[in-house]
Structure 1
Amino acid sequence: MNIKNIISILIIIGPGLYFGYVGKSTEMGLAILSGAVAVAFMNIDKIQRFKGAGFEAEMKKAVEDAYATIENLKELATPLIITVVTNLTYSGRLGGMDPHRKHRFKDELKIISDKLLITDSELEDAMSNFHRYHTWDHISRIADEVHKEQLLSDEHRRKLSELRDYSSSHFPSVNEIKNLFIGTPIPERIQDLIDDYDYYLKNKKLRR
């Protein structure tokens, strides 16, 4: 007899024997019933039907039904999450929801998909596109600020603008950006934007 069987017996009869010994028949019956329920759940993977002490349940079928429900939930949740992440990526790019809220919602959706153990190529693509677009947004902010402050030569401003390619995942390095400023001091505001880009590139999270 293995240790699990010994524990099962003790759980069922131990408390019942005690309450029977002290003359508490009601408590004895409840203890036996509770013990039977506990043992049933301990052996949930092996039991198709458990009956005893007034307790009856089709445990294995209940577990199978639960898994079926989870699969149905995954099928429902996957397209919804993909749709929401895609909307977060493309919508309101000229206004509306700010990047911090977008990233918060995206992170919450990622937590939901992870908890549901969803593995789906379209969902992975949606998450990848989200980060790709927001990475290029950082380059856009740098270029826009340079144009606004009339920094660099026309040629270097053009080169900076041409770095942007939202269809590509080949992002320019920080050095590539800084090389355009050779001979020109980088203002603190621009340096902050470059640091934001560098942080997002490495962590896929907003720096500030």
Structure 2
Amino acid sequence: MASKTSSAIQLLLALSIFYLGYTIHGMTSKVGEVIDTYPKILEDVSTLSKHLQIEEWLEVADTLEDLLPDIIRSVEGVTVAVSDTNKTAASIDAKIPMIVGEVTQYREVLVPAVLAEAQQYRVDVIPPVLVESKGYRNETIPLVVKESEALRQDIPPILLKADEVALKADQIVEKSQDIAQQATQGAVKGVILSPLDLIRDAGNELKGRVTPTEGTEP
């Protein structure tokens, strides 16, 4: 019995040694294959690094690392601005009820008062003004127009009379000069009588011109 057990153990040990040797042989083969493919792997890695432009990416990473403090400061500034904006929004939110109350006051108090006053003007003030303007248009303006037409008709005779008076004044001046000349010559009688005759002639002539004009008036 002991010999059989020893034989079995030896058999198992032999099988284990054989399996270990086989495994070592397979591992050695795999290591050889890896060693054979290692240069190709290095070449592939080099090619891949060239295609990926790792150096440029490293430069970009360095640049980003240099810019990172500024970015952080900018983010902090944005954070502060957002905080201020939130404070402003909170202030606006606090003022909204007051604004709403003021708008409500305008809508409920001031606007109705303005509408009532406008209605009062429309009912009480504007109609009398329209009536008065209609009276001006129908009564006063036609009278003014009629009176202006009458004045326009009276102006030509007045101007004519003024021209006649101016002409007579010129004649008086001329005769006065003649009288002065006669006075210097010693014609006392002429000096005394000529103004009287001149005034009498002028009065008769003006009376003759004015009397027909007055007779034609209604």
Into which bin does the TM-score normalised by the smaller protein fall?
under 0.3
- Output the TM-score relative to the length of structure 1: 0.25
Larger Rg: 2
Name the TM-score, length of structure 2 as normaliser: 0.24
Bigger helix share: 2
Identify which of structures 1 and 2 has the higher relative contact order when contacts are C-alpha pairs closer than 8 Å and 6+ apart.
1
